[in-house]
Amino acid sequence: MSVLSSKSSVAQLVSLLCKYNIRHVVVCPGSRNAPIIQTLAACNLFECHAVTDERSAGFVAIGIADATNDSVAVCCTSGSALLNIAPAVAEAYYRNVPLIVVSADRPYELIGQMDGQTIVQDGCFGPLAPTYNLRENDSARYRNRLINEALAHLTLGRRKPVHINVQICEPLFDFAETSLPDEHKTEWEPVAGKQLSDSALQEWQSAQRKMFVIGQLSDYEARQISPCIEKLALCADTVVLAEHLSNLHNQHIISRFDDVLAAAENDAKESLRPDLIIYIGGHIVSKRLKLFLREREVVCWHLADSESIIDIFHAKMRMLKGCASDLFAALPQLHSDSGFADVWHRQASALPSVATDIYSPQSVVGQLVSQLPSGCALSLANSSTVRYAQHFCVPSDAVIICNRGVNGIEGSLSAAVGYAVATTRLVVAIVGDLSFFYDSNALYNNALPSNLRIVLLNDGGGSIFSSLSGLEQSAYRDTLVAASHRFTARGLADSFRCWYLQVSEYAQVADAVQLLFAKGDRAVVAEFLFGALKRQ
């Protein structure tokens, strides 16, 4: 093969254009896009058509797309050359023509610095064509994901134009490579009303160690898929990992997987690795699981309704389009006897119980969740609270809610208030002090429901920051980073007519829990004080 550009972003793009069966490219002259032109032409996988005027080139590409019913690319240099393709982009958008605009771009620090042929190219076509920027300093994995998303944009039922903007810095004309990289093409698998593709079936049947990871689900979503998940959890080659936020509570589902990984020796960890991951639902909390699964690149199927690639585990992705029930209906009933599930269950059953006979935020959470009344809703704030709860079993009929979309501390209390307003369930909100005081306006509500129970874990600041390695070197960790304070919630509770309980030692916990769960005519704030606050 003739020499190709040494620019890795260019090589990735050309490799994936080929894998998405793009065969025709209209190329316009220029030096900044010369590495792209060289690679497209020299690999002998494309028909390249030279057109000098970019206005005409865009419409030539549309004509080729009309004749072939295929996606067609047009490649131009930086600056106003790109703007001249706008009329063709508008035509392609309103006629549903799959046009790919590939533009070369200059270093972003030169924009607005009187450097030639340098403009803001990101988003230059507005709503007519989304821009996907390939920056030279981005990781190869990230660029692969962006290119896959851009090219899948043309094939997922929306034949609309797309813009791929490739930053190319000098030197421009280093043509030292002799072959294209074998870039991974993300497959998009529709699962509604049909069988899985042959390649997906092959992945499923050849996998001896299947792992279902279930992210956050609403109570309704969990009830819809619970029967199928329970069946899968009984298969010898399949393990199901689900945090409490999944709202799936079953003895055959492993919820303390974070603890399993923390306890496993290095040799034992190898036996816990899957060769196929199937991810369903929203966010998971466990950073340890993410890091563990990123250590080896495996195949991951991700069930999602978006058109973005969600690569949580840095895997070889297959995006599944559809609902969970359609996926379960499409999966063949073929399972091996690899014993993979037994390995996980033995490790989980060997875990010691987390101590609740001492006075600490974690032990208080343990006592609370283990004694939750039947049918209640448990609202967990972010940071330490949601992690503490994961060490303990929750009642099978409990509903778990948490703002895990962005994982911020704002709004945890307000979301619990909103849930309590709209349900007859007892709502128990466990929240840390920073989250509570940040969102204390949630109590400023004339209709504060009497079925709300707020458990405030007040240790005088953001205690999670003390666990971050390296931060202890900062003299400002406690005062500024963790926002240490000496406030309690008594005044707020009184102001907003909530019943108030205060606990500062282990001997008071049992009585407080009993009072907390008793029926009352007002919302209750139970404040558990730790550290220096106990001595106030």
The two three-digit tokens of residue 525, written as one number? 């704030």
Q: Specify whether the CB–CB gap between 379 and 427 falls below 8 A.
A: yes
Residues 213 and 116 reside in one and the same domain: no
Query: Pick from 324, 349, 374: which residue ends a domain?
Result: 349
Output the domain CATH number for residue 476.
Answer: 3.40.50.970
pLDDT value of residue 218: 94
* 452-458 and 399-401 strand pairing: unpaired
Structural domain range at position 253 = 187-349
226 vs 232: CA distance, rounded Å: 10
122-164 pLDDT, tens digit per residue, is: 999 999 999 999 999 999 999 999 999 999 988 776 789 999 9
140 vs 137: CA distance, rounded Å: 9
> pLDDT by residue for the chain (536 residues), tens digit each?
568 988 999 999 999 999 999 999 999 999 999 999 999 999 999 999 999 999 999 999 999 999 999 999 999 999 999 999 999 999 999 999 999 999 999 988 888 888 878 888 999 999 999 999 999 999 999 999 999 999 998 877 678 999 999 999 888 888 888 889 999 999 888 887 667 889 999 999 999 999 999 999 999 999 999 998 988 888 889 999 999 999 999 889 999 999 999 999 877 899 999 999 999 999 999 999 999 999 999 999 999 877 789 999 999 999 998 888 888 888 887 667 778 999 999 999 999 988 888 999 999 999 999 899 999 999 999 989 999 999 999 999 999 999 998 888 889 999 999 999 999 999 999 999 999 999 999 999 888 999 999 999 998 887 777 777 887 888 878 777 777 888 899 999 999 999 999 999 999 999 999 999 988 899 999 999 998 777 55
Residues 43 and 108 reside in one and the same domain: yes
pLDDT value of residue 236: 85
218 vs 244: CA distance, rounded Å: 11
Dihedral (CA of 335, 340, 346, 347) sign: negative
Output the domain CATH number for residue 252.
Answer: 3.40.50.1220
- Closest of 4, 8, 54, 32 to residue 147, by C-alpha: 8
165 vs 134: CA distance, rounded Å: 6
Q: Output 352-357 pairs: Cβ under 8 A, ≥24 positions apart.
A: 354/391, 354/392, 357/506
| 30 phi-psi bin (left φ>0, alpha ψ -120 to 50, beta other) | left
Residues 136 and 234 reside in one and the same domain: no
Residues 304 and 368 reside in one and the same domain: no
Q: Specify whether the CB–CB gap between 102 and 37 falls below 8 A.
A: no
The two three-digit tokens of residue 241, written as one number? 């990992």
Decide if 90 is inside a domain. Answer: yes
The two three-digit tokens of residue 229, written as one number? 């998940």
Residues 325 and 389 reside in one and the same domain: no
Residues 129 and 28 reside in one and the same domain: yes
Q: Write the CA distances from 356 to 264, 332, 365, 367, integer angstroms.
A: 23, 44, 9, 7
Decide if 1 is inside a domain. Answer: no
Decide if 433 is inside a domain. Answer: yes
- Closest of 55, 163, 43 to residue 103, by C-alpha: 163
The total of structural domains in the chain comes to 3
> Based on C-alpha coordinates, what's the Rg of the chain?
28
Decide if 181 is inside a domain. Answer: no
Decide if 172 is inside a domain. Answer: no
- What's the mean per-residue pLDDT of the chain? 91
Decide if 95 is inside a domain. Answer: yes
Q: Specify whether the CB–CB gap between 316 and 184 falls below 8 A.
A: yes
pLDDT value of residue 483: 78
Residues 216 and 135 reside in one and the same domain: no
pLDDT value of residue 116: 79
Query: Pick from 112, 136, 167: which residue ends a domain?
Result: 167
Residues 109 and 52 reside in one and the same domain: yes
Q: Specify whether the CB–CB gap between 124 and 131 falls below 8 A.
A: yes
Tell me the whole-structure pTM to 2 decimals.
0.88
- Closest of 439, 419, 435, 438 to residue 427, by C-alpha: 419
